Amino acid sequence: MDGTGSRIVLRRPCQYWTADQIRRPVPVPWEELKMIATLEQAHAANSIGSDSIVASLDGVNKNYGDVPALRAVNFRVRAGEVVALLGPNGAGKTTAVKLLLGLLQPNAGKVRVFGGDPTNPENRMRTGAMLQVGRVPETLRVREHIDLFSSYYEKPLPPAEVLATAGLEKLSDRKFGELSGGQRQRLLFALAICGNPDLLFLDEPTVGFDVEARRMLWDQIRRLVGQGKTVLLTTHYLQEADALADRVAVINKGEIIAEGTPAQIKAHTSGKRIRCITSLSIDLLRGIPGVTEVKPDREAVELHTGEAEHVLRELLVRDAQLAGLEVTTAGLEDAFLALTQEKNGNGSN
Amino acid sequence: MSTATMALGNTRIQRSPAQTLQIYLKEAKYEFLKYLRLRMYTISVLTFPIMFYILFGLVLNSKESIAGTRVPVYLIPSYGTFGVIAASLFATAAGLASDRGLGWLEVKRASPMPPFAYFTAKLFTSFVFSTIVVLALFTLGIAFGGVRMSVGQFAKLLATLVAGSLPFSAMGLALGYFTGPNSAPPMINLIYLPMSFCSGLWVPIMYLPKTVQKIALFLPPYHLSQLALGVVGAGTHESAIGHWEALAAFTMICLGVARIGFQRDQEKMYG
């Protein structure tokens, strides 16, 4: 585990995605990737290709009163990439976004967007933001909200295109107060993109979405990236980071604890997950060399191991009736949980 | 990153004046529509002064006089002031507190909206609803109360009352910066209802106890109502200049407080 020189020592994964979630392809090829697992390494990597950096946090500290929200955070968003800030609630994701939007100011460090101060009006012209909002004026209609926000920008998208992108064509005459939770989120997404911005900040964009709506929004985000836009999204949906991001920064308790492609983050969790239906007892399974964890899952069991081939051979030898076999790599959530738990100081490996 | 770069109206964007004007107009239009469709607002702002006027000015006391002025005439400046205050305070304080507290203002601040457009839209909405209240009272008074004034008098009364929307909009901004989304409406009521009463908007000032009359001198609604009553020849005998000065001072204080709130918000800690 320590072969990468990382100071992050990973724990065995302990919570799993469903098989369906794990089978998704990893969107980005390995070759292009420079894994940045520690802050020290991050510093070194950041000096490369600084011309294409569109947003950055440099040694940023942000406190709310005595409570630190971000601690010595270094973070880069390069042109044309989708970066996911992944972390549990309260990790500092929203704070990072608000700093980059110039809505908050850091206690220490530097925040830059398009090479300048994030509060520059011309930066705001090139930036779109979807934030978590408690109340939007409810008596205005969808098209009215879009009309108003579009007027702020120099080259807004045509309203019809905004409505279509956000999947709101049929709801344009609806008042905001009459929309469902997911529809409201879509309007906020529409307001973020209506100015045709180069840089898009999406703070928990699919909270409250059903699976279908989530996939639809993902498609739209991919389409925008295809047009050359840069996207920073925060999420605690690991699946979302995995599905969308070129790069994932895992953030916990105000610190970025790992950075890399979804594949690289996943690579930090050693081993594979084996799911099968077997008559072998749990204790017996635990006794197989190389098995690190066993837990029953409905009619089946799930095993975790760093030596999948060996364990599989053992399993098949010991139980000729073994059925329903699935072998998958650990999902991003495994990686994420492993990383944050180690960081919390209660991990041991 | 000093607060100076975020000051009101600081814009380095190359917008044409026409584009800028369009933003201001749209912001104002939608702010007005927002409140027009908000029943809670229209009822509390329009219905109450109109209802009071119909009841106390037209139904009950229409033949009586207050200090030599017929009641239907006297009550237009009084309830007009009352309506203007409600229209202005609710349009500014309640909306601002809610926008601030629940994240909507952050979405707007993150956009290239000129910050000043947001405030002028609120002011515009206060003006429009103030005008509507006063015109409704005029109409009722003329139609059912036998109110007769010269056009010049009507115009002066309307202008005075609507101008009075400014100090109370400023007060609303100050309140909106220092109250939360839930506390703003009760806070407004807690302040403006007693203030209106003590200023003689419900019971004419001379029928109020002497102590209250002395307190009234420090209350902005008193000064606005006296200016309005002066137009129909029913004011007390202080100088109009003094009333304007009092309102101007009050406006400056409120804008100062609002500015402190505005700057504090730039460093707000919503998490």
ipTM summary value: 0.87
Q: Look at residue A6 and tell me if it is in a domain.
A: no
Average pLDDT, whole number, for chain A? 79
Does one domain contain both A93 and A239?
yes
Does one domain contain both A218 and A280?
no
Does one domain contain both A241 and A313?
no
Q: Look at residue A337 and tell me if it is in a domain.
A: no
Q: For A154-189, how does the pLDDT look when each residue is reduced to its tens digit (9 = 90+)? A: 999 999 999 999 999 999 999 999 998 889 999 999
Comparing CB atoms, the residue among A103, A134, A139 nearest residue B102 is: A134
Does one domain contain both A52 and A117?
yes
What is the mean predicted confidence (pLDDT) over B231-243?
Answer: 84
Query: At what angle are helices B71-89 and B220-231 packed, to 10 degrees?
Result: 140
Q: For A40-65, how does the pLDDT look when each residue is reduced to its tens digit (9 = 90+)? A: 333 333 444 445 899 999 999 998 88
The structural domain count of chain A equals 2
Decide if B235 contacts B73 (C-beta within 8 A).
no
Beta strands A199-203; A127-130: pairing state: parallel
Task: Please give the residue that has the higher pLDDT: either A213 or B225.
Answer: B225
- Give the pLDDT confidence score for residue A337 in this predicted structure: 60
- Give the pLDDT confidence score for residue A46 in this predicted structure: 40
Does one domain contain both A282 and A147?
no
Q: For B196-215, how does the pLDDT look when each residue is reduced to its tens digit (9 = 90+)? A: 999 988 888 888 899 998 99
Residues in chain B with CB shorter than 8 Å from the CB of A149 are: 111
- Give the pLDDT confidence score for residue B228 in this predicted structure: 93
pLDDT beyond 80 at B98: yes
Decide if B73 contacts B138 (C-beta within 8 A).
no
What is the mean predicted confidence (pLDDT) over B234-261?
Answer: 90
| Minimum distance, in Å, between the CA of residue A180 and any CA atom of chain B | 18
- Give the pLDDT confidence score for residue A213 in this predicted structure: 86
pLDDT beyond 70 at B233: yes
CATH number of the domain to which A70 belongs: 3.40.50.300
pLDDT beyond 80 at B40: yes
Q: For B105-154, how does the pLDDT look when each residue is reduced to its tens digit (9 = 90+)? A: 999 999 999 989 999 999 999 999 999 999 999 999 999 988 888 899 99
> In this complex, do B106 and A144 lie within 8 Å of one another by their Cβ atoms?
no
Does one domain contain both A143 and A181?
yes
> In this complex, do B33 and A144 lie within 8 Å of one another by their Cβ atoms?
yes
Those residues whose C-beta lies under 8 Å from the C-beta of residue A340, and which sit 6 or more positions away, are A87, A88, A250, A252, A257
Does one domain contain both A81 and A119?
yes
| pLDDT grade for A128, boundaries at 50, 70 and 90 | very high
Which one of A152, A173, A175 would you mutate to disrupt binding with B, by most B Cβ within 10 Å of its Cβ? A152
- Give the pLDDT confidence score for residue A336 in this predicted structure: 60
| pLDDT grade for A2, boundaries at 50, 70 and 90 | very low
Sign of CA dihedral A171, A181, B267, A57: negative
Does one domain contain both A23 and A114?
yes
- Give the pLDDT confidence score for residue A127 in this predicted structure: 94
Comparing CB atoms, the residue among B23, B101, B270 nearest residue A152 is: B23
Q: For A272-315, how does the pLDDT look when each residue is reduced to its tens digit (9 = 90+)? A: 888 999 988 888 898 888 887 888 888 899 888 878 888 899 89
Does one domain contain both A35 and A125?
yes
Q: Look at residue A41 and tell me if it is in a domain.
A: yes
- Give the pLDDT confidence score for residue B178 in this predicted structure: 93
Those residues whose C-beta lies under 8 Å from the C-beta of residue B19, and which sit 6 or more positions away, are A151, A154
| Minimum distance, in Å, between the CA of residue A163 and any CA atom of chain B | 19
Does one domain contain both A38 and A183?
yes
Residues of chain B above pLDDT 90, percent: 63
DSSP string spanning chain B? Answer: --GGGGSTT---S---HHHHHHHHHHHHHHHHHHHHT-HHHHIIIIIHHHHHIIIIIIIISTT-EETTEEHHHHHHHHHHHHHHHHHHHIIIIIHHHHHHHTSHHHHHHHTT--HHHHHHHHHHHHHHHHHHHHHHHHHHHHHHS-----HHHHHHHHHHHHHTHHHHHHHHHHHHHSS-TTTHHHHHHHHHHHHHHHTTSSS-GGGS-HHHHHHHTT-HHHHHHHHHHHHTT---SS-HHHHHHHHHHHHHHHHHHHHHHHHHHHT----
CATH number of the domain to which A314 belongs: 3.30.70
- Give the pLDDT confidence score for residue B14 in this predicted structure: 73
Which one of A89, A110, A119 would you mutate to disrupt binding with B, by most B Cβ within 10 Å of its Cβ? A119
- Give the pLDDT confidence score for residue A266 in this predicted structure: 67
- Give the pLDDT confidence score for residue A270 in this predicted structure: 57
Among A267, A297, A315, give the residue marking a domain's end: A267
What is the mean predicted confidence (pLDDT) over B220-232?
Answer: 92
Does one domain contain both A211 and A308?
no
Q: Look at residue A338 and tell me if it is in a domain.
A: no
Dihedral of the CA atoms A49, A54, A58, A64 (nearest 10)?
Answer: -160
Query: Which residue range(s) make up the domain with A311?
Result: 272-329
- Give the pLDDT confidence score for residue A15 in this predicted structure: 35
Does one domain contain both A232 and A293?
no
Comparing CB atoms, the residue among B6, B11, B103 nearest residue A134 is: B103
Q: Look at residue A4 and tell me if it is in a domain.
A: no
- Give the pLDDT confidence score for residue B51 in this predicted structure: 93
Q: Look at residue A112 and tell me if it is in a domain.
A: yes
Q: For A215-230, how does the pLDDT look when each residue is reduced to its tens digit (9 = 90+)? A: 889 999 999 999 999 9
- Give the pLDDT confidence score for residue A269 in this predicted structure: 55
pLDDT beyond 90 at A36: no
pLDDT beyond 90 at A100: yes
Those residues whose C-beta lies under 8 Å from the C-beta of residue A195, and which sit 6 or more positions away, are A125, A128, A149, A150, A152, A153, A154, A155, A156, A157, B111, B112
Decide if A37 contacts A82 (C-beta within 8 A).
no
| pLDDT grade for B194, boundaries at 50, 70 and 90 | very high
pLDDT beyond 70 at B187: yes
Residues in chain A with CB shorter than 8 Å from the CB of B107 are: 129, 131, 133, 136, 188, 191
pLDDT beyond 80 at A101: yes
